[in-house]
Amino acid sequence: MNGLVAENVVLEDDHHRPKFIPTLWNILLCCVTTSLWLIISVACLPLFLLGLLIWGLSPTIPVPSTFWNYFIATFKQGKLEENIPFTNRVLLLLIYCDILVKVPVNGVCWYIDELLYPSYHKVNIDEPVFMITAPRTGSSQLCQYLEDDYENIIAPTVGEGLFPYIWMWKILVPVIKTLGKEHCLIRHFDVVGTEAKRQHNSSLFKSATFDDLARSWHFEIYSWYLGSSFLIWAFSYVELGDKDYQRNFVPFTNCLMKKIVYYRGKPKQRVLLKGHFLLNARKFEQQYPTAKFFVSLRNPLDRMCSYANLEKVLVDDGPYKIKYGLFPTTWRVIRDYVIYTQIPYCEQEMLFYKDPANNKLVIPFTMYVNNLSATLQCIYSFCNIPIPDDVVSSAIRLQNTTHNYRYKRKQIDCRYRRTLTSLGVNEAELRKRLSEYIEWISKFEDN
């Protein structure tokens, strides 16, 4: 890895510091909300312990060792040049306490489904479709085009991932819709800024990166604020870092797929999951022999550049800045994370999709951008699903308007148009390291 990044390059946010008064307010607010949740959790504790005895720990609950790992990391992780303020460490400790305080409430919510709807476990997941692809390959938009086919495709929404409870979908959601309060719900959970929305489409009632939804129940997302070494260990998509999260990921995925089919599935629908969970691809391939896997492949240097810019937007303008007031992670940490995790991702992606088996499909990013109709036709044919005409026309209309890449690119704040070179990355060395992967991609683009 030596020679890929310049350690001595000076980046603009290397010495920025948080403002004292707003940060103090965020700390006090976090203390108050955690105290209020504690009252509710104490009331739920007997029911939680009973459910724990009967059904065991739900996959939405972090195990105690995870809390301990992050508690220690919050004191120890982060180099001086990574500019992690002390106030971030205090806020992170309070957030961990908030997660622990809510454990009885979240556990009881899960156990209600086990009590009222135990038959969801008997649901068969036939021929699921897994879109396991790297970040910044257009996969989120492509998944939203596919999920608009309500007759053939069923995909977990952001809301279903954040609240994976059948009883809530059956009881509370209809009440909210009857009262016409969906906009209030969206406003409460749509805690991202204008720039973040501009760069990544998201909605409470649309699908999203599935593993990010699963991570929202655990501690991994907070590794973004603990320096590059810990972040690379905890948030890798191809290496086993946080074992406790990974241990829960497959059970959580299986349960949520069964729950959404039980709740809103139709006989012909196929479950579609989109994400970057390449580490678990082999497990799903073994567990679901009839599953289909497809990927969108993009030039890795372009993709890494886009990924670094997006992550900087999310820490500057995303939910954890807006909701908790965490001071943004620096360009230096994001750069190192992207480079040192995406290189092994490319290598593992090539190994997985190189298999000549008929359960895998590769889509060049250039084909997806330039010929969406052919891309959709290819996916539907691969999955043995008849393609509705209105799905193609609707997708093309969206691609030409709200999803127009070139138009959106012009609107992006110039602060988030950084090149890899400006971040201190040796592009020639990076291209050399990924030469085999780049050559592999080019074979699909030439066909």
Share of the chain above pLDDT 70, in %: 93
Segment 55-74, tens digit of pLDDT: 999 999 988 888 888 999 99
What is this structure's pTM?
A: 0.91
pLDDT mean over 326-354: 93
Structural domain contains residue 106: no
Structural domain contains residue 81: no
Structural domain contains residue 78: no
pLDDT mean over 132-145: 91
State the pLDDT confidence band at 257, using cuts at 50, 70 and 90.
very high
Query: Is 191's pLDDT higher than 70?
Result: no
Round to whole Å and give the CA distance between 21 and 44. 35
Structural domain contains residue 207: yes
State the pLDDT confidence band at 174, using cuts at 50, 70 and 90.
confident
Structural domain contains residue 46: no
Nearest to 62 by CA among 32, 107, 121, 118: 107
Domain count, the chain: 1
Check residue 382 and give its pLDDT. 94
Check residue 406 and give its pLDDT. 60
Average pLDDT score over the chain? 88
Which stretch, 80-94, 112-126, 190-204, 310-324, has highest mean pLDDT? 112-126
Give the 3-state secondary structure of residue 311: helix
Structural domain contains residue 24: no
Structural domain contains residue 203: yes
Round to whole Å and give the CA distance between 385 and 151. 10
Segment 367-425, tens digit of pLDDT: 998 899 999 999 999 999 988 878 888 888 878 776 666 666 667 777 888 999 999 99
pLDDT mean over 335-346: 94
Structural domain contains residue 359: yes
- Domain range for residue 244? 122-446
- Which tokens in the block code for residue 54? 């009967």
Round to whole Å and give the CA distance between 173 and 35. 27
Check residue 114 and give its pLDDT. 97
Supply the CATH number for residue 369's domain.
3.40.50.300
State the pLDDT confidence band at 79, using cuts at 50, 70 and 90.
confident
